[in-house]
Amino acid sequence: MIDIIKFSKSLLPFERLTIPTTLKLSEVLERLDEAVEPPKMFRMNLLFRRPNKPYEGTISGNTFKISRIIRGRNSFLPVIEGEIHPESFGCSIAIKMSLYKVVLIFTIYWLSITGSFWILALLAWLVDRSVGPIFLPILGMFIFGWLLCLIPFKIEAKMTTKFLFNLFREELVD
């Protein structure tokens, strides 16, 4: 049952994770500050000029909301929201990754329209086989829209997860 739940969660453009670390709250905030710059309304990324920091966003108290700075456009870039919880051993960082609200609304709209047409076309085909399997291209549109959203999101979420685990990793002192 748990495997089915994990599999179904992997099919959605959302991620949740918790990063335990022995770093103190101030050290976690300091590392975040070193990796995150304030958001800009318009960002001019020249071809050979890299941004000073890999992420942009806000850090406020024990919470942060960031996204990766990229060249070009990627509407499916995750928005990373985190909350730092002080613990007896250090801190735990609870992270949620999701799509931008506008992109999520558009994706839901696209999938609901194509899904509804697919069901209607499938029912029409089941009632009268002379209609032909028109439901197949509509199913293809549904799958295309879903994968167009899911694949770029999961790739970026995996990169961000790796970056955050490395960012909050403790250095070993010899």
Q: What are the Cα distances from residue 66, in Å, to 38, 63, 116, 154?
A: 9, 10, 35, 16
% residues pLDDT > 70 (the chain): 90
Structural domain contains residue 115: no
Give the C-alpha separation, 32 to 26, whole Å.
Answer: 10
Share the mean pLDDT of the chain: 87
Structural domain contains residue 57: yes
Structural domain that includes position 27: 2-103+141-167
Asked whether the predicted pLDDT for residue 45 surpasses 70, the reply is no
Single-letter code of the amino acid located at 163:
F
Structural domain contains residue 112: no
For residue 23, the 8-state DSSP code is S
Give the C-alpha separation, 162 to 157, whole Å.
Answer: 9
Indicate the pLDDT class of residue 103, thresholds 50, 70 and 90. very high
Tens-digit pLDDT profile for residues 53-94: 889 999 999 999 999 988 777 788 999 999 999 988 889 999
Structural domain contains residue 136: no
Structural domain contains residue 130: no
pLDDT, residue 10, reads 74
Give the C-alpha separation, 86 to 24, whole Å.
Answer: 7
pLDDT, residue 1, reads 65
